[in-house]
């Protein structure tokens, strides 16, 4: 049994929802990528937009711009920049670079399709460089906050690229100031280090078998130069096959000297998740404030 099994108890609200849902509803499988993408659009994107749209601020208080990011292979990917209005070079703001989730395969523009590993990591890295180079044009001051984050598969990419950014001379003078990892996969199940296997038991939940299909090279480096990482906020789901990986990752980077904050959800209501995420962002930004 996992050392973290106490986090597997779902919130009563969640238990009620699950009890009313057919067991075979919207089953996710990596066997058919197109079917998986369609399911992600139906189950996550559509309901997510309907839930969040009423919470958006007034349309005249922010701008949405879409730009193309060039890649070394001649292709382009799109990046969406959402900025508060009015934008001003004299009053710039910090930024969060967010890498979407989607099981490394799925979505649309809001939840974009990935190119196969490792191209997806390279695409995202080009996007981070684009932000660094174009920050001023979008009213961004990276010294006020340069946070890299992502959820699920996006959390894996964000965790991986945080190491890369902090060790790349390209970002000298404009390093990341924070990182947000939401339910990230960080270690391939076939690559669990022997000394941590007793701690990595959540993958043995029935749903865990589907995660053995992703490329084992996606395992995040957890040793060596982790001390260069920026302050990191992790938001982990208690009843998630990836739970123990996130908890272990937080402990290891914290013991290496990285400032961390960890929230473990008992699969509670979405408003609790949203508030925890906002609190995590506020914590990271507070670290940039003059003391």
Residue-level pLDDT at 1:
57
Confidence of residue 109 (pLDDT cuts 50, 70, 90): low
Q: Which two tokens stand for residue 195?
A: 């000394």
Please write the tens of the pLDDT for every residue from 51-98.
Answer: 778 888 898 999 999 999 999 889 888 888 988 888 776 778 999 999
> Which domains are assigned to the chain?
5-18+57-286 (3.40.50.1820)
pTM for this predicted structure: 0.82
Q: Buried b vs exposed e over 246-285: b needs ≥16 C-beta within 10 Å?
A: bbbbbebbbebebebbbbbbbbbeeeebeebbeebbeebb
* Beta-bridge mates of residue 147: 96, 178
Confidence of residue 279 (pLDDT cuts 50, 70, 90): very high
Residue-level pLDDT at 56:
85
pLDDT higher than threshold 50 for residue 291:
no
């Amino acid at each position: 049994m996992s050392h973290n099994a106490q986090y597997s108890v779902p919130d009563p609200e969640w238990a009620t929802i699950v009890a009313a849902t057919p067991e075979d509803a919207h089953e996710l499988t990596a066997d058919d990528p197109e079917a998986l993408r369609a399911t992600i659009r139906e189950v996550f994107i559509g309901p997510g937009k309907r839930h969040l749209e009423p919470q958006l601020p007034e349309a005249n208080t922010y701008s949405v711009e879409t730009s193309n990011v060039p890649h070394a292979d001649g292709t382009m990917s799109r990046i969406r920049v959402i900025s508060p209005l009015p934008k001003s070079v004299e009053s710039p703001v910090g930024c969060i670079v967010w890498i979407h989730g989607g099981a490394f395969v799925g979505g649309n523009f809001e939840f974009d399709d990935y190119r196969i590993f490792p191209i997806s990591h390279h695409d995202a890295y080009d996007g981070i460089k684009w932000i660094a180079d174009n920050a001023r044009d979008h009213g961004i001051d990276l010294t006020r906050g340069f946070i890299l984050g992502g959820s699920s598969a996006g959390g894996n990419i964000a965790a991986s690229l945080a190491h890369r950014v902090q060790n790349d001379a390209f970002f000298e003078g404009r390093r990341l100031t924070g990182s947000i990892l939401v339910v990230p996969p960080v270690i391939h199940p076939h690559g669990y280090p022997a000394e941590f296997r007793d701690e990595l038991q959540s993958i043995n939940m029935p749903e865990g078998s589907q995660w053995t299909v992703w490329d084992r090279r996606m395992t995040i480096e957890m040793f060596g130069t982790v001390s260069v990482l920026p302050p990191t906020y992790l938001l982990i789901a208690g009843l998630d096959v990836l739970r123990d990986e996130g908890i272990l990752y937080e402990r290891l980077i914290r013991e290496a000297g990285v400032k961390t904050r960890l929230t473990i959800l008992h699969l509670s209501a979405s408003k609790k998740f949203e508030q925890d995420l906002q609190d995590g962002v506020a914590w990271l930004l507070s670290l940039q404030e003059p003391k």
